[in-house]
Amino acid sequence: MVEISVVIPVYNCEEFLDDSLGGILNQTFEDIEVICVDDGSTDNSLKKLEEFAKNDSRVKVFHQENQGGGDARNFGLTKTTGKYLYFMDADDIIYPEALEECHKLCEKNSLDFVLFKAISYFEVTGQYEEHDYFTMGKLYECVGDEVFSFEDVGDLLFEFSVTPWGKLYNRQFVIDSGAQFAHRISFHDNKFFWEMLFNSKRIQFLNETYYVRRIHPKSLIGSRDRKFFNVFIAYDQIFEIFRKYDQFERYKAPLYNWKINILYFRFQKIAEEFKQEFLDRTREEIQKMIDEDGKQTVENLLTAQNRVIYDSIFEADTYKEFSLLMKVDELSRKLNYVKNKNAKLQKDYDKVKKTNDDLMNSTSWKLTKPLRGIRNIKK
């Protein structure tokens, strides 16, 4: 048995495998097996994987008909033998010391899993960017370097990044939890993460950046196509998992706000040709919430900003009207920000002016006026 099993689902990623698979094989921690699952690639990915396997006995290559990344991960999991488990994406980059440092922490504190930070790389522009979702700063402020469980973080539960590649797991814990990736959809990692999280008792945050997520035209985020509609299925699955573990009522308010916020985020990112259909589907999803809990209850649960999104969705007939309403709200918020800033500056100015006027009118200032005149003459 090896110490760490690495599972890599691969679909048409031949140009990235030197970076991703090469990065795994060049880890400072060497006691690994690498389970590569070719998910029906139509390029030379499978051939390249087989070349890696010929040169390194730690690489094992499997092939399946195209079923999606979630199914490839589930299949790969059945082939693993390690004490620990790591999922790598075939188009990303991992730092050389990542597995070693995560392994040390898991061994030291008997963790169910350890999570770490990531940075985004935009291939078209060559720029690197940090995003709150992948750095999880609020979560780290809460838990620090202590071992914790989901019960310790309250509503910061939604500050977790659900991505599987940002974590090293105890493999037996994952198997015992029964966590599986969603079948044949994008955003398949949500189902796996929440199932696993509600079973976990010992989690730790390693406050280091060890992963580079590559954004390119062929990636899910880069494509902006109909795959974005899978988010609706993903949210149904998430809600069901919260109900399964009797956490739905406890987290209903943040769940509803989170859902509306993310759906608006996806609406902004999806290609123009799909926006109307996506908006209509979003309206249906919110109506499901209303049908279940009542209009007043849902509206009372929403934050001020999500209430604006909610109202605009039902007010607009077309996606262009909705976009315009949200733009007006954005400009209104910017205007209020400027007004508040100007008001503060005016207040600061009035305070300084009053101090200056008080000084000029003070007895000491008036008595020393002749002396200031003498000093000016001497200069």
343: pLDDT strictly greater than 80: no
Q: At 6, is the secondary structure helix, strand, or coil?
A: strand
Angstrom distances, CA of residue 207 to CA of 28, 140, 143, 267, 269: 19, 7, 11, 31, 29
Closest CA to 190 of 151, 221, 211, 160: 160
To which residue do tokens 């921690």 refer?
Answer: 29
Q: What stretch(es) of the chain map to CATH 3.90.550.10?
A: 4-250
Q: At 325, is the secondary structure helix, strand, or coil?
A: helix
The pLDDT score that the predictor gives to residue 97 is 98
* Whole-structure pTM value: 0.83
What architecture is the 4-250 domain classified under in CATH? Alpha-Beta Complex (3.90)
Q: Is the dihedral of CA 69, 71, 76, 82 positive or negative?
A: positive
- Lowest-pLDDT range, 141-145, 155-159, 216-220, 258-262? 216-220
Closest CA to 47 of 80, 13, 23, 72: 13
To which residue do tokens 């985004």 refer?
Answer: 120
Q: Region 135-164: what's the mean pLDDT?
A: 96
Q: Region 282-311: what's the mean pLDDT?
A: 95
Q: Is the dihedral of CA 204, 208, 211, 217 positive or negative?
A: positive
